[in-house]
Amino acid sequence: MDCTKEKIIELGREKFVFDIVNEILKKDDMDDTEIKEVFLDDHGQCIHVTFTGGVYASTIIAIGEAFGDDDPNVHGVSDNTVNIVFVNEKYQVLVETATDR
């Protein structure tokens, strides 16, 4: 998904990430997966996505790769909640500059 910086800012950086991750999760056969939170850390260089439900390891890797990180981190949050953390190497438009703040 490619968009201009203006379009991404209008849509919202988190929503832009949500849409990409959600599209990848839809291709996964797990029906109960739901994104709970998208958080951009380090001014958009690092992305955290928290979701509930099951997901294949290949899907987690695909999510990381969609943003240029082929080795995302996975953290269990609670019984049915997982947080994946990956570096944003692909979408420079997600990175806030001093003029964006």
Interatomic CA distance for residues 64 and 49, integer angstroms:
10
The pLDDT of residue 52: 92
pTM for the complete prediction? 0.87
| Per-residue pLDDT tens digits for 26-63 | 988 877 889 999 999 998 999 999 999 888 999 999 99
| Per-residue pLDDT tens digits for 67-100 | 999 999 999 988 889 999 999 999 988 887 655 6
Identify which of 83, 3, 77 has the alpha carbon closest to the alpha carbon of residue 38. Answer: 83
- CATH class entry, domain 5-90: alpha beta
Residue ranges per domain, the chain?
Answer: 5-90
Q: Are 94 and 48 in contact (CB under 8 A)?
A: no
Checking if the pLDDT of 3 tops 90, the result is no
How many CB atoms sit inside 10 A of residue 59's CB? 19
Identify which of 54, 78, 79, 61 has the alpha carbon closest to the alpha carbon of residue 21. Answer: 61
Most confident of 5-9, 13-17, 29-33: 13-17
